Structure formats: structure tokens, C-alpha cells
Amino acid sequence: MVLLLFGPPGSGKGTQARFITSWLTIPAISTGEMLRSEIAAQTKLGRLAEEVMAGGGLVSDELVNQMLVQRLAQPDCAGGFLLDGYPRTVSQAEFLDSLLARQGFPPAKVVHLAVQRDGLIARMSARRECPVCGQIYNLIHQPPKQKGLCDRDSTVLIRRKDDHASIIRQRLKAFDEITNPVVDYYRGPQLHEIDGNRSSPEIFEDIKELLQQALAMVRSRTKRSATP
Ligand code: ADP
């Protein structure tokens, strides 16, 4: 199964991606995380992306598409994968659709986490993450047990460079202007809207139910086509 997780910055995509991948055992690919690793490693791509990301803008389609093609060619993606933060433009969506078709994947399932904008900036300013295991915390809703330290490995939690109010506003603007049309691009049976204004476990229950139905349909179709 190929799954696309959509939602504005701060909608909880990263947290849901973790729940889903450990449940379905498919890899979660976050283009944002991949770009942050490229920056940390100071690769050519990282250097090109750094300034754009620091300002809350979008990295060029060409760079992100190339990075994605390389990642999807890895063997762990052969049985399906989840994309978080991609496609973010209509041109990326068109690119992905033709790539999936060429590689024999069925059309992607699209889950859109719809959230109210009130409180989003405060929620994101309170976000912290573990630079080692990637666990995400929120100082208001989901604080670590020990102040400033990861529950799993006691690493000092960090705040993402672009999680500051003025940059968050810029990222929300980029989402509204450029990424919202991608939701419209997928509108139809492929697209599932989920109310993201609830706790992470509640949201996950809905996503699970939805995906269980989709998986049951795929299984019954495969069984039917296998019976002589
Ligand atoms: P969020 O969804 O919370 O903004 P991400 O980690 O998905 O966080 O993305 C962080 C930044 O990485 C974005 O603001 C953008 O600059 C860049 N980025 C991530 N994915 C893409 C993409 N598919 N196309 C262009 N830029 C991207």
C-alpha cells in the first residue's frame, strides 16, 4: 500500500506516520526529515535546501523529486510505503503518480488531517524532538517525563530551527497557497479527510479503521482473481 499523509505543519503528521508504520511495517518517508539529514551532513543538496527551509519556503520540485526517486528505489519500499510531506505541489503529485504507475503500484491512498488554525502556532512553538530517535513531544500536551530529556534515551530534546513563530507563519502560508491545491488534485475516492483536532490515539483509531477497510478490499480482490 502507498499512503500519503497530508496536513498543515503542526497537524501531527509525524506522530501518525510513526503509529502507522509500526502497525503496517512499511517505511515512513518524510521529505522534511530527509532534507534535514542532508543539511546536517552538509551535502550539496543540503546546502541548496538550507536557506529555503530556514525561511519556511519550499525546496525546488526537481531536487525533492530526485531525492525521492533514490529513496523509493531502496528494497524496503518494494511492498509499499508512507510519504509524509510529499507531494507538496501539484507538479510533485503528477510526478509521483506517473512514478507509481510505472513501478506497478496501485494509486496511493491519501489521508488528509484537517485541523483548525487557532492554536496551531502555539502548538508548534511547544514542539520538541529527540535528535537521536526522532520521538516528538509537546511541552503542553505531551511533555517528556523528565524536563527537556527524551523518555526513551535521555537525549536532550531540541526545537526545530523552523519552529519559530514568524517561520511557522511562512510555512502555513506555503501550505495554504501551494499544498492545498494538492488536496484538491486528489479529491475523489482516493482522498480521506480525518478530523485532526483530537488526541493522537483517537486520530490513529480512525486512520486504522479506514486502512483496515482498504486492506480487506485489496485482499478480497486478490482472492477473487486467484480463484480459477
Ligand atoms: P512541516 O510539515 O511541519 O512543515 P516538514 O518536516 O515536512 O515539516 O518540512 C520542513 C521543510 O522542508 C518545509 O518547510 C520545506 O522547506 C521542506 N520540504 C519538505 N518536504 C518538501 C517537499 N515535498 N517539497 C518542497 N519542500 C519540502
- Is 186 buried (19+), middle (13-18) or exposed (0-12) by CB count in 10 A? buried
**Phi, psi at residue 130, to the nearest 5°?**
-90, 120
Whether 13 sits among the annotated catalytic residues: the reply is yes
In the structure grid, which three cell numbers stand for residue 7, read together? 496536513
109 in contact with ligand 1, CB cutoff 6 A: no
In the structure grid, which three cell numbers stand for residue 88, read together? 507538496
Which one, of 120, 124, 61, lies nearest residue 93 by Cα?
Answer: 61
Q: Write down the pLDDT at residue 134.
A: 87
Q: Write down the pLDDT at residue 140.
A: 84
Task: Kindly tell me if the per-residue pLDDT of 215 is higher than 90.
Answer: no
- Is 80 buried (19+), middle (13-18) or exposed (0-12) by CB count in 10 A? middle
CB 110 within 8 A of CB 104: no
Residue from 5, 53, 182 whose mutation best tests the ligand 1 pocket (most atoms within 8 A of CB): 53
This prediction has a pTM of 0.87
In the structure grid, which three cell numbers stand for residue 47, read together? 546546502
Q: Write down the pLDDT at residue 118.
A: 81
Which of 71, 159, 160, 198 is labelled catalytic? 160
Task: Kindly tell me if the per-residue pLDDT of 189 is higher than 70.
Answer: yes
The tens digit of pLDDT for each residue in 79-131 reads 999 999 999 999 999 999 999 999 999 999 999 999 988 878 888 889 999 99
DSSP H helices, the chain, are 13-24, 31-40, 44-54, 61-72, 90-102, 120-125, 165-174, 180-186, 200-226
**Cα–Cα distance list, 57 to 18, 53, 75, 168, 178 (Å):** 25, 6, 31, 10, 10
Task: Kindly tell me if the per-residue pLDDT of 221 is higher than 80.
Answer: no
pLDDT-above-70 percentage for the chain? 96
Task: Work out the average pLDDT over 142-164.
Answer: 94
The tens digit of pLDDT for each residue in 19-35 reads 999 999 999 999 999 99
